[in-house]
Chain A
Amino acid sequence: MARIISMKDAVNEALDQEMTRDPTVIMMGEDIVGGAGAQGEDDAWGGVLGVSKGLYAKHPNQMIDTPLSESAYVGAAIGAATAGLRPVAELMFIDFIGVCLDQVFNQAAKFRYMFGGKAETPVVIRAMCGAGFRAAAQHSQMLTPLFTHIPGLKVVCPSNAYDCKGLLIQAIRDNDPVIFLEHKNLYASTADVPEEPYTIPFGEANIVREGRDATIVTYGQMVGRSVEAAELLKKDGVDVEVIDLRTLSPIDMDTVLESVEATGRLVCVDEANPRCSIAADIAATVAQDAFDALKAPIRMVTPPHAPVPFSPSLEDAYVPSAERIAAAVRKTLEN
């Protein structure tokens, strides 16, 4: 029987189940409980959007509110991960990585290699990402390419509640550092999510929709938009395949290449800025490895090379729409 829950509740459930299963799983972050040391209610917030609401009551020793010191607590999560805990550190917004990036990219990502394969750093850094909340330039970025660039990190960005639960449980059980990006616009989205814990392996893309005429490769919030675009194109008799990468590092290029070999047309849709993006990475790899299969130039659909704007009219124009994605697919069909 279907059990329809939101992605926000799926995150909460994954954290709850993993903290129950394994007492070394701890969660750290700003206001993840809320009201620490204050006179009012305990568990006042449960995270700024209430994602971790209720977890403190069930796991009081595993839920740790932190001061506004991202370097200190993200670094502490990383250090604790080398010393027997499996911390999940929450950065409220991935945009805050700027004040603690060293701990992520010079420390966690590199320990295993620098130390000759003798370190394990099972840490998850969860953060909200993405535009659409009218949250402006410092609370709306994707930054997925930034992390995907760095060897030693795994990068996950789910598109729906079902994947989110399975990928988050996998991230917590994984022995490498994982950047887990939850698109804030997807928290309210719902899916059929089994109550029992399950994992989704990293590096396995999901073919959301099969099609013969063109391939759209994307992830995160853009998966839904791409499926909308595919529905628009269906009315014109165009049959589009939509691939949800789910994890950006590792990345499932085999599924992408197989699809392009079959369709001959590729549109890369990325909510990150275009330069050195996931879209550019996919396009370059396909151009190198499947050039002969291409019947038309690869198209990329991304925001412009500009910060995320505040004004609703600008932000709506910034984020790729289903219409823009559909137009890009049509462009590939002109050849």
Chain B
Amino acid sequence: MSNPFPLPKEQLLDAYRKMKTIRDFEERLHVDFARGEIPGFVHLYAGEEATAVGIMMHLHDRDRIASTHRGHGHCIAKGVDVKAMMAEIYGKATGCCAGKGGSMHIADLSLGMMGANGILGAGAPLVCGAALAAQKLGHDGVGITFFGDGASNQGTVLESMNLAAIWNLPAIFVVENNGYAESTSVDYATASDSYVDRATGFGMPGITVDGLDFFAVYEAAGEVIRRAREGAGPTLLECKNVRFFGHFEGDAQTYKAPGENEYNRANNDCLKLFRQKVTEAGVISESELDAIDAEVAQLIDEAVAEAIAAPLPGPEQLTTDVYVN
């Protein structure tokens, strides 16, 4: 049967693997956090996987992304090592940031991942800088900043949209609109009903897509990233999402409507939607996807086991890495 999708089968399998890895990573953290095994604050990305992966499938290592406090999904989609991430979240010396960053600061600059960020909206100016560097250094890298509907109201984001527009930067502003700024509804906190209108106000195109539909995200992202690489400037891309968990782990989520999470898991699960589309088209079989599920489950088990077994950073690490010299 012919493949009706814009990606060859191998890449479809890769996309599924990444989305499933994010899902299992987050589901596992949810359980282990509740058991008291994870220090600190954890914000889970489950439910929004198609957005991160649909965008990141277009990127190379020299393309820069700036993530959010809800950053695990962006990291995995950008190719950060899952075991090093898990070790980091456990605060271990083997973590990708040597245990000094934790869940909110996972980064791997060598892969273009400029960091999860504990400050909402802080990534937008940073990505403008990365995009400016690409422009000045003469390569076709792009900068993508992710932020939620909450951080969309930060001055940093709005200033950066203006800056990117006047400098025609290869920057993309991705609004992951999951409907909630922490506990506060987007309907309450955001004056405009339309992010497309907001983009228009800054003189850049704006596109809204169903963030649960991997293919919709993939196609829209492909177009805006191509525009940016070709020097046509910035774009805002709103991906409408759902958040399966609370703002942070431990959030009782009483602000949500009764049954909202259950409904979303049953009807708005981007992984189920992907599975359904590719199997109904006959491009990938259920058993092929099941095999990936098993491999991912094993990877996450190994990541947790290795993180638990790994050493904590020693006290001699307390004051290293403050300065280059």
Residues of A bordering B, CB below 8 Å: 24, 26, 61, 64, 66-67, 69, 71-85, 87, 102-103, 106-107, 110-120, 151-152, 154, 174-176
Contacts and interface: CB of A to CB of B under 8 A. Distances in A.
A176 B325 contact: yes
Contacts of A79: 64, 66, 114, 125-130, 132-133, 143
A106 B126 CA distance: 12
B166 to A, nearest CB: 7
B324 A112 contact: yes
Interface string B102-137: 000101111000110111001011111110111011
Contacts of B254: none
Interface string B251-268: 000000000000000000
Contact of B162 (A72, A118, A119): A72
The contact size tier of chain B is: 35 or more
Contacts of B130: 79-80, 82-83
Given A76-B163, A79-B114, A116-B97, A176 B129 contact: no
B2 interface: no
A72 B137 contact: no
A24 B136 CA distance: 8
Contact of A78 (B126, B134, B322): B126
Contacts of A174: 324-325
Contacts, number: 152
A114 B163 contact: no
A112 B325 CA distance: 11
Contacts of A78: 125-126, 129
A58 B122 CA distance: 33
Contact of A73 (B97, B98, B125, B325): B125
Interface of B: 64, 66, 95-101, 105, 107-110, 114-115, 117-119, 122, 124-130, 132-134, 136-137, 143, 155-156, 159-160, 162-163, 166-167, 320-325
A115 B109 CA distance: 9
Given A106-B119, A152-B322, 4 more contacts: A75-B125, A82-B114, A112-B323, A115-B109
Contacts of B137: 24, 84-85
Contact of B159 (A72, A110, A111, A113): A72
Contacts of A113: 100, 321-322
A121 to B, nearest CB: 9
Contacts of A115: 97, 100-101, 105, 107, 109, 115
Nearest to B64: A83
A103 B119 CA distance: 9
A64, A87, A107 interface centre (most CB from chain B within 10 Å):
A107
A107 B100 contact: no
Contacts of B119: 102, 106-107
B129 A119 contact: no
B101 A69 contact: no
Contacts of B125: 71-76, 78-79, 103
Given A74-B125, A76-B132, A85-B136, A112 B109 contact: no
